[in-house]
Structure 1
Amino acid sequence: MIGLAVACALCAAIASGLGARLQHGGVRAETRDGELHLRSLARLGRNPGWLLGFAVLGVGTVLQIVALTLAPVIVVAPLVVLALPVVAVLSGRRDRTSMLAIAAVSIAVGVFVALSSDAAASPRLPPSDVLDATQIVTVIVAVLGTIALFGRGLVRCVALSAAAGAAYGLVSVLVRDVASTVQTLGLAELPWLVACGAVAAFLLGAWFVQLAYASGPPDVVVGCQTMVNPLVATVLGMTVLGEAPAMHPLTLALLAVCGAAALAGISVLVRHYQVVSSLRRRSRYSRST
């Protein structure tokens, strides 16, 4: 089952990368001031590229849900980071620094999944644990949302993307709880409140992503979002949800190293984009004068 879950999660990551690239183009085409407003939604609904991206992301969401019904969160969630190489290739970012950063993220995630899949467990989640996870993520999203509210440019983009990642991380946890409950107790015991919470967190994350697209490039949006998403989901899975009860301390240390390597790769990518953007602005200014 874990092998099939990993395959579904990989396909979901590819769909996420392609959908993100398409939606970013649609949002950029429909915004003029670098910010997306509610009145822009009607125009987005008529943009073919954005609609196609929405459909592709829908397929990816279904595949992610299937993966979460077959394997624990700490196995499935990290694979979403592999959407980053897809976006980088589609965006044409093939300079050495970007490719090395993307390679570091991809390798770190691959090792993380390989290590966690052997020790992962699938315990039943008491309602108190689900509530604790929701409260933790709510605080994280509120802090990041406040930073985005007062930030501009790339700071706003990173904060919004990270907030979306935190919301999506909670979605993974809630979907896993719903799937586990239905598999164990049957559809009659479907936890409707948890399911509604998953839908609400997903919609909030999706809106944050659209706002982030209006403030920055797609690879930075996807990089930040897909780094925070598995980080939140995995930490919650290991602590609040108890999905790694018998994991060896050495394995935990290796997982921490993988997480740090992935975070460093994302940081390098964001910083590199800042430098490249600054050089491009100076070049355009020099030509105009």
Structure 2
Amino acid sequence: MIALAVACALCAAIASGVGARLQHGGVRAETGQDELRLRTLARLGRNRGWLAGLAVLSAGTALQIIALTFAPVIVVAPLVVLALPVVVLLGPSTLDRRSLLAVGAVSAAVGVFVALSSGAVANPRLPPSDVLQATQIVAVTVAVLGTAAAFSRGLVRCVALSAGAGAAYALSSVLIRDVAFTVRTLGFAELPWLALAGALVAFPLAAWFVQLAYASGPPDVVVGCGTTVNPLVATVLGMTVLDEASATSLVTAVALVACGAAAVSGIAVLTVHRRQLVSSPSRRARYSRST
């Protein structure tokens, strides 16, 4: 079942990257350089590119739910990182050596992380008190980032919104995991309503933050920030609140931390470098036409 979960999570990551490109193009086409507002949603609903992105992301969400049904969060969540290489590969600018090395480093680090974590995790049920604790931690984080975004513009606003979306998506993964695992093992009679309600709030909030971020910056930055914060928060919650790493040895834990650090470093290098390429005078015009 772990293999099926990993395959579904990989496909979900690919869908996330493709959907991000499509929706970013739709948002930029409808807003130009302006901020996204509620009244703009009606126009987005008629934009074919944005709707295609929504369909792809919906398929990816379904695959992610399947993956979380059969594998712990610390196995599934890190694979979200692979959405960034997809976005980069589909980008308007050509790939250079540094970008390729960063993509390779991120992919290798995530692959090793998943391989190690899949054989050394537990599958405990999440008590309601832990659901509340995780929700409170993420809610404060999202509130702080949302406030920072409200009082900023441009790239700073984009990063704050993307990070907030990543944190909210991470909470969604934890809550969906609890709901899916409980239903699969104990049936609908034991459905954790608190976790389900939290997921139904966190997921739309994260999606709205992403759309706002698309209106403030390039998809490389949006996905880069989101794919850093999302698996980081989800993995930390999985290892602490969910206690999924209770069967992990010290050596394996150190290796997991090293892989996580390598993946985050690769994402940071890739995001900053690609942003510099897009911002250079020789490439700015081509990027503007592509978005």
- TM-score, normalised to structure 2's length? 0.93
Deviates more, 1:57-66 or 1:147-156: 147-156
What is residue 159 of structure 1 aligned with on the other side? 160
Structure 2: distance between partners of 1:235 and 1:220: 22
Which string of whole-angstrom CA distances, capped at 9 and with x for unpartnered residues, describes residues 31-68 of structure 1?
13341111110100000000010011000000000000
2:31 matched residue in structure 1: 31
- Structure 1 position 95, deviation (Å): 1.9
Verify: 1:117 aligned to 2:155, yes or no.
Answer: no
Task: Decide whether the 8 Å contact of 1:22 with 1:50 is kept in 2.
Answer: yes
User: Which is worse superposed, 145-154 or 174-183?
Assistant: 145-154
Structure-2 separation of matches of 1:252 and 1:151: 38
10-19 or 32-41: bigger deviation: 32-41
Q: 2:272 — aligned with what?
A: 271
The structural deviation recorded for 1:217 is 1.2
User: Cα distance, 1:98 vs. partner?
Assistant: 2.1
Q: Which residue of 2 aligns with 1:287?
A: none
Contact 2:72 2:244 in 1 (8 A): yes
1:22 maps onto 2:22 in alignment:
yes
Residues 25, 282 of structure 1: alpha-carbon distance in 2 compared, 3 angstrom cutoff:
closer
Residues 102/34 of structure 1: CA separation in 2 closer, same or farther (3 Å cut): farther
- Indicate if the aligned counterparts of 2:87 and 2:220 stay in contact, CA closer than 8 A: yes
The one-letter code of the counterpart of 1:245 is S
Q: Are positions 1:180 and 2:181 aligned together?
A: yes
Q: Which residue of 1 aligns with 2:50?
A: 50
Partner of 2:215: 214
Tell me the equivalent position of 1:280. 281
Give the superposition deviation at 1:96.
Answer: 2.0
* Local SS of the residue matching 1:121: coil
Q: Is the 8 A contact 1:220 1:269 kept in 2?
A: no
**What percentage of residue pairs aligned between the two structures are identical?**
73
Measured in 1, the distance between the counterparts of 2:248 and 2:62 equals 30
CA distance in 1, matches of 2:243, 2:8: 23
Q: Give the aligned partner of residue 72 of structure 1.
A: 72
Q: Deviations over 1:173-214 (max 9, x none)?
A: 000110122123211221223212101100000001001111
The structural deviation recorded for 1:223 is 1.4
Give distance in 1, aligned partners of 2:55 and 2:280: 36
**Is the 1:21–1:90 contact (alpha carbons within 8 Å) kept by the matching residues of 2?**
yes
Task: Give the aligned residue type for 1:54.
Answer: L
CA distance in 2, matches of 1:156, 1:75: 30
| Gap change, CA 1:89 and 1:175, over 3 Å in 2 | same
Q: Deviations over 1:153-183 (max 9, x none)?
A: 1111111111111100000100011012212
Long gaps (5+) in structure 2: 286-291
CA shift digits 1:231-264 (9 cap, x unpaired): 1111000001100102111211111111111111
Distance 2:79 2:278 in 1: 29
| Alpha-carbon distance between aligned partners in 2 of 1:34 and 1:113, rounded to the nearest angstrom | 40
Q: Which amino acid aligns with 2:211?
A: Q
> 213-222 vs 44-53, which deviates more?
213-222
> TM-score, structure 1 length as denominator?
0.94
Cα 1:248–1:33 shift into 2, 3 Å: same
In structure 2, what is the Cα distance between the partners aligned to 1:43 and 1:268? 35
Moved more, 248-257 or 18-27: 248-257
Q: Which amino acid aligns with 2:175?
A: L
* C-alpha separation in 1, matches of 2:283 and 2:49: 31
RMSD: 1.6
Going from structure 1 to structure 2, the CA distance change for 1:39 and 1:77 (only over 3 Å counts) comes to: same
Contact kept? 2:169, 2:203, Cα under 8 Å: yes
